[in-house]
Structure 1
């Protein structure tokens, strides 16, 4: 007898049938609240099965779900709620005060109960959990509403906002898909991510990001057995892989670093032999980290590359990565890649240029909310740029060099911080690193490296400088090295370098001012040595 797949989070487990039944009741509640086709519904919730039910409910009405990074405050949150024209916001009760403080006029609130697993994962105080009694609740709809009786209405796949690593987040509104396009989309993602119906898959990343959100919603459509973590924890991830015999997990490189940071005796404690696929993306993975993960789990590591705008475009397995070390893959399905120079001309094989991606035909087209011009600006004959630089090797495998906005020009020389970050990541005692350009009066820009040591690691600034100098050219040695307790990194793995760079651009006193002075002196010294 075939077992129906389930969705589980914490100690709560629901079959797909139960999830769809609850979603149909939420849809009726939304309709009673005045939501109709095309309305935008913002979702400010942590990882929870109800998160998936809300998205499924919104889709039934032909409305548009807008996942919101619940970490956002102030301007970022207010911008999203206004820019998306949100008709209604569904929010976990403990996050209600923050959302209410930035709620535009005329926008309604619906409260979602905080499940026990989320409260435990985030250490939430009990007094923050009960509903306020001032708004409708998801649970009241589930308890009282009749299931939505009508067929699903065609709707956009969703409206998702970028992380805003270089400015305010921009909304990516995908076009509606027909049933046939939806079927092809599931097939595309399953093939690119090495999934199959019934597979036991884990989602440890926040559902407000594109990849885990796509994984969850297409997983429901494609019959995956889903384990959704309320919050990533390295040892808990291993424990749940063993407990639920997980076969597939999608992670970001920072999670791999934290898994490798566990003591050897803890890593050996769990039976992880059920795993067939470890999938990673979202941020560059240092080669040494990937080597160690493959040594640990075997050649089951898959990688893909794309963006929220394009979906997965290229992919590679462990063997392909080893044969083309550093690659993020080659095109999947009918996708394509071009690398162009500043004039829009193709560059020779192996030469760095701006990467343009042609999404697979199954991936829905999009526009930026309120800015069709920005959508046109990134398009070159159907190939889209998401701002990355790289090259294609002789066998057609794409290699990333850096973000276009992150490239540093020092004394007229182009420097790619990603190469230096990956070098520093190989130094013992390094947990995380960010390399970026800061103002320099003589050379225009100089390199700064902010390095987060592992707890208790006896790491010094001189260790970092010495390590880079022994492996890279002198002009790539950071002129400023700062040991930082915490780097501002998104849960998706993306680094907010602008927040670090702003310390130097704003003319702040103290560390930043001293660092700029040191940068000038070091720039002259290293230039002379080079």
Structure 2
């Protein structure tokens, strides 16, 4: 088994290394599983890119697929388990994945996605756990055929390829950036680099978010440092508190929506559980409302670190709870290799405390990269290594960044990035609609939600709102669809056909 697992199996033979709601594994068992996965993919013909997709809900097998494939010099592609078969098929083809791992919840969609991908010429196999289907290789049987001996440490480590929704409606693939990937020319160097992790100084790590996000995936990599992991299948506020108390977890990655749901529990429920074991919680996904973060600090203590950034680049700003209490509302100061720039509409840098468009400069010159799309890569960087996450804000004299608005169309709902273009392209096909624009509007729990503003073809007899929303949900993953629709007379398109979405959003945020 890998050296880290064999050492831990010897030193802590009875310790549970990985636990999910249905099963648990010791270090010895984890080591053997990872070896078998690594050797299976090392022996497989995975094409030049050596990629496989993981299209499954949170489970121990999800973590083993990612980490085992990494040890086998294979890039894993985490696929959002909410996607439709058609959406998943696009990612399978675009990433050139040669295996797709599925669980029982994604079985049927995974099979259909693979079928659609094969129609486009992709050679792909399906491996699944807790399933029985003639088109799917059983996970246990697949593992059994793997060599349990230690894989070579001279192989090349390959970063994850992650997909973010696109402004044009198609997802964009981006490799896990150097700020989040240990790199190295060999697996031996990579494993050594993986030891540098801010969570590594703490005990059991709690995974509450979906493992297609970069934050929860970090928990999987902590196994290399000998940090045990507890995986929740889905987030539930009270179950999270119960798990913290039972497993004495010490770290986690969450989003502000998790905090809102935890705080919404009745006081008597919150008082039932001991959360004093928690030592570090990083929160990502969206800026956290001041009252929510202050309430969490009052409850759990000053253990929170805000990691503001994006999948494409990693963390660009960070702030501890102590710093935040002195600078409430800030997302922190820029962290190396990034520096922050605030520019006006003419592209000139503005003075401290002056609102403008937020840009970041990557000292390495890398910036944002989309491996399969040179044009999108070029469009994402206004100059080499200088990019924006699409938000408006200011920087104070001490260098602390504050977010005040967004100039991109992106909506962040519950920590999930949603690009309105995807829903707009579906809704505009509805026979009862003439034009559509989707915007983000306030939502107490999710931060914001997607709302459709639509011009009906027949103003006097508009289509039924519920039917229009159902039309969208039948064709697109539900999380990408608007929750509400409002019929309007005009969207304010200019002579170039463009819409000022900041203007459309303003009335809802001013209420």
Identify whether the pair has TM-score above 0.5, normalized to the shorter chain: yes
Which residue of the partner structure matches residue 380 of structure 2?
378
| Contact 2:207 2:230 survives alignment (8 Å) | yes
Rounded to whole Å, the distance in 2 between the matches of 1:450 and 1:366 is 28
Secondary structure of the residue that 2:82 maps to in structure 1?
coil
Q: Deviations over 1:6-25 (max 9, x none)?
A: 12212522234432321221
Closer, same or farther in 2 for the Cα pair 1:267/1:519, shift >3 Å?
Answer: farther
Which residue of the partner structure matches residue 212 of structure 2?
208
Closer, same or farther in 2 for the Cα pair 1:165/1:187, shift >3 Å?
Answer: farther
Shift of 1:163: 4.1
Structure 2 stretches lacking a partner, 5+ long: 1-9, 425-435, 466-483, 493-503
Which residue of the partner structure matches residue 509 of structure 1?
463
Rounded to whole Å, the distance in 1 between the matches of 2:394 and 2:442 is 27
Closer, same or farther in 2 for the Cα pair 1:200/1:360, shift >3 Å?
Answer: farther
Rounded to whole Å, the distance in 2 between the matches of 1:310 and 1:348 is 25
Secondary structure of the residue that 2:155 maps to in structure 1?
coil
Which residue of the partner structure matches residue 315 of structure 1?
318
- TM-score normalised over the length of structure 1: 0.72
Closer, same or farther in 2 for the Cα pair 1:317/1:94, shift >3 Å?
Answer: closer
| Contact 1:37 1:155 survives alignment (8 Å) | no
Which residue of the partner structure matches residue 120 of structure 1?
none
Shift of 1:262: 0.8
Shift of 1:152: 5.0
Which residue of the partner structure matches residue 152 of structure 2?
150
Q: Deviations over 1:379-413 (max 9, x none)?
A: 33423322222211111011112332249xxxxxx
| Contact 2:202 2:250 survives alignment (8 Å) | no
- TM-score normalised over the length of structure 2: 0.74
Rounded to whole Å, the distance in 1 between the matches of 2:140 and 2:438 is 53
Closer, same or farther in 2 for the Cα pair 1:143/1:384, shift >3 Å?
Answer: same
Shift of 1:46: 0.9
Q: Deviations over 1:152-201 (max 9, x none)?
A: 5213311001145773221002478215974686466x23xxx2345222
Counterpart check, 1:262 vs 2:265: yes
| Contact 2:368 2:387 survives alignment (8 Å) | no
Secondary structure of the residue that 2:200 maps to in structure 1?
coil
Closer, same or farther in 2 for the Cα pair 1:378/1:506, shift >3 Å?
Answer: farther
Counterpart check, 1:50 vs 2:4: no
Rounded to whole Å, the distance in 2 between the matches of 1:446 and 1:35 is 41
Question: Segments of 4+ in structure 1 off by > 6 A?
Answer: 363-366, 445-449
Choose the corresponding residue for 2:113, options 102, 122, 137. Answer: 102
Rounded to whole Å, the distance in 2 between the matches of 1:303 and 1:238 is 21
Rounded to whole Å, the distance in 2 between the matches of 1:263 and 1:54 is 38
Closer, same or farther in 2 for the Cα pair 1:37/1:85, shift >3 Å?
Answer: closer
| Contact 1:16 1:220 survives alignment (8 Å) | no
Choose the corresponding residue for 2:408, options 399, 405, 408. Answer: 405
Rounded to whole Å, the distance in 2 between the matches of 1:140 and 1:278 is 38
Rounded to whole Å, the distance in 1 between the matches of 2:437 and 2:372 is 37
Structure 1 stretches lacking a partner, 5+ long: 115-129, 408-416, 426-433, 439-444, 455-488
Closer, same or farther in 2 for the Cα pair 1:19/1:161, shift >3 Å?
Answer: same
- 1:172-321 pair list within 5 angstroms: 172-174=174-176, 177-178=183-184, 182=190, 186=194, 190-191=197-198, 195-197=199-201, 199-213=203-217, 215-321=218-324
Which residue of the partner structure matches residue 395 of structure 2?
392
- 1:410-429 pair list within 5 angstroms: none
Rounded to whole Å, the distance in 2 between the matches of 1:10 and 1:167 is 35
| Contact 2:454 2:486 survives alignment (8 Å) | no
Shift of 1:84: 1.1
Secondary structure of the residue that 1:272 maps to in structure 2?
coil
- 1:359-374 pair list within 5 angstroms: 367-374=369-376
Rounded to whole Å, the distance in 2 between the matches of 1:165 and 1:224 is 38
How many residue pairs are counted as aligned between the two chains?
Answer: 433
Counterpart check, 1:25 vs 2:1: no
Shift of 1:99: 2.0
- 1:15-164 pair list within 5 angstroms: 15-35=26-46, 38-103=49-114, 104-105=117-118, 106-114=122-130, 130-147=131-148, 149-164=151-166
Choose the corresponding residue for 1:327, options 330, 339, 356. Answer: 330
Q: Deviations over 1:214-234 (max 9, x none)?
A: x12331233322111111111
